[in-house]
Amino acid sequence: MNDADWPLRWLRERLGYAPRDAQLFRAALTHRSAAGPNNERLEFLGDAVLNLIVARDLFARFPAANEGDLSRLRACLVSAEPLAEVAAALHLGAVLQLGAGELKSGGSRRRSILADGFEALCGALFLDGGLEVVTALVTRLLAPRIAALPPLQSLKDAKTRLQEYLQSRSIALPLYSVERVEGEPHAQTFEVGCEVGGLGLRGHGRGSSRRRAEQAAAEQILARLQADDARD
């Protein structure tokens, strides 16, 4: 095969798929930094297709999960990091067409570019083969991650878990207060206190934002409560 056949060769070798429209996949594997048709529009379509496939699977797999639970589970599968890891396992970066600047700066390994490329590939597969084809591929590629999804409870952040713990025991909700802020405006560190008056507990957390510090403080309180529960 000559260089013009690289999308066909890669698709057959890595995905076991023989496309009808090679040009569609050339566009899917071309970043906007390179000349010619690129994958931005296909990325838009592929994002919607991926979300549909994963949402439908999770809806069937977790009948007791509410909307928030399902959204958190979906984020474990279709956010930038997991999609980039799937793309890297397929060696997608090796066939992505990038502009000179992106090539020099290591764009073929950049998480956002890999994730976007995978979304564009899903968009192309949907147009070329239909929903059934892309569903089979996505289900196969994401199967290990779906099997390894964490328990629903662990997906909730520490503040939410602490709030639910206290509400279930009719205890007043915690109060958070910023105790200290250090550093320059662009690189601040926050220290936050978390007080559960009904239990006489106080936790402290540090983080690069107020929200992260609050989460750390809530996590500290939760650890104490869980330790107490284990002793009872």
Catalytic residue among 47, 116, 128, 214: 47
Using a 10 angstrom Cβ sphere, with 0-12 exposed, 13-18 middle and 19 or more buried, the burial of residue 152 is: middle
For helices 131-147 and 111-129, the axis angle rounded to 10 degrees is: 140
47 labelled catalytic? yes
229 labelled catalytic? no
With beta carbons less than 8 A apart as the criterion, state whether 91 and 11 touch: no
For the chain, how big is the Rg over CA atoms in Å? 23
Catalytic residue among 43, 102, 119, 191: 119
* Catalytic residue ranges: 47, 119
